[in-house]
Amino acid sequence: MGNLDDKRLPYNYRTREYGTVPSDSTRAPFRWASEVAYKNVHRIVARGYCTTELGEAGYGLVDILFVDYQSRIPTIEENKMLNYIMILSLDDGLSPPAALTRIVASTRSILTQAAGASVLAFGHAYGAYSAFGNMLETYLLKVDKEGLSLAAAAELLVRENLYNEALGVSSLMLKDPAAKRIFARAEKLGLAGRYIAFMKEVVKAAQTASREPVDVDMLGATGAAMMDLGFSPEAAWAIIAITRALGTGAHYIEEVERCDGCVRLGQHLTPKEFYDGPAERPVPPLQDRPKTGAQTHNLEEWKRAFEEKKKLPACGFGIEEMIKDPRKVLEQKKKAKAAK
């Protein structure tokens, strides 16, 4: 039986006891603990507020987001600002989240699966609110610790991240005024703070450094405004992703209503004209199988083989992985704040 008879094992596998070990009565049993909410047969309480009483008092969904993520009731101006942001974020036409929702819907899945697929589109390029916000925090720490001005920190950020998809400045919104209107709305409501001010400096620095016209985009405007409202980058990421998922529900329903039947496994055919790989070739006999594989024996061979592999599409060797683990970013952020 493999190595189960190995004498080095700390027990005899064949004679070991079956069943679970007795409960340890010397310590408290594991249970989830949460500062966010609890529920009993009478009510649901979020951050100390009964949600039924909040609703009865006239508070809305936007107010509860502040309660859940910041443990406070927002001002009227803050409520208006987040409501404005969520309206602009609810739908984006046939964007990747909507397209994913429609693809999943075409396989006759349930709506929540399709909405979940839309959330998965919020990666570190599309909807990169976590990456964007943590980047701003990193360089604003330099303002606090190293005495840099906002303009100098912005120039450093742009110099090191000009081609980062999460920069929040791009050529996407040169004609669409929506991003600038978010800043204008925040200023009108008296909510434009440090993050919007810093983002404006980032835009100036990027416009100077870029070879093409650029301006603040929806990622930069929304992310900075959300952080000025007191939300963390992770909270902004969650709120906007779920907001977009609400809009994709309508895309799901429309796809189901318009879909002429459903898509079944193996149904889709793709024409040869869509294929641009190697020409068709005969299958070699087994005895002609290559005698050597991918193994190399020195650095020079490895480098040559690696460069050749990078030329092969869809093998993965041409991908430059630059996405940071969000968990590590959050851990670094916590350490930086603790040191501060």
Condensed to tens digits (0 to 9), the pLDDT of residues 236-277 reads: 999 999 999 999 999 988 888 887 777 776 677 788 888 888
Q: What is the pLDDT of residues 129-155, one digit of tens each?
A: 999 999 999 999 999 999 999 999 999
Nearest of 66, 100, 99, 91 to residue 236 by alpha carbon? 66
* CA distance linking residue 71 with residue 213, whole number of Å: 41
Q: Which residue type, as a one-letter code, is found at position 59? A: Y
pLDDT band at 322 (very low <50, low <70, confident <90, very high): low
The pair of structure tokens assigned to 244 is 């977009």
Distance, C-alpha 241 to centroid of its chain? 8
- Distance between CA atoms of 122 and 243, rounded to whole angstroms? 11
Q: What pLDDT is stored for residue 323 in this prediction?
A: 58
In the chain, the amino acid numbered 87 is I
- The secondary element (H helix, E strand) that includes residue 234 is helix 233-258
How many CA atoms lie within 13 Å of 182's alpha carbon, on the beta-carbon side? 32
Could you read off the pLDDT of 293-318 as tens digits, one per residue?
888 889 999 999 888 888 888 788 88
182-231 pLDDT per residue, tens: 999 999 999 999 999 999 999 999 999 999 999 999 999 999 999 999 99
Each domain of the chain, given as residue ranges in start order, spans 35-74, 75-263
d(CA 130, CA 337): 17
pLDDT of the residue at 325? 65
Integer Cα distance of 232 and 223 in angstroms: 9
Rounded Cα–Cα distance for residues 308 and 205 (Å): 39
Top pLDDT among 17 and 185 is at 185
pLDDT > 70 in the chain, percent: 95
pTM of the model: 0.77
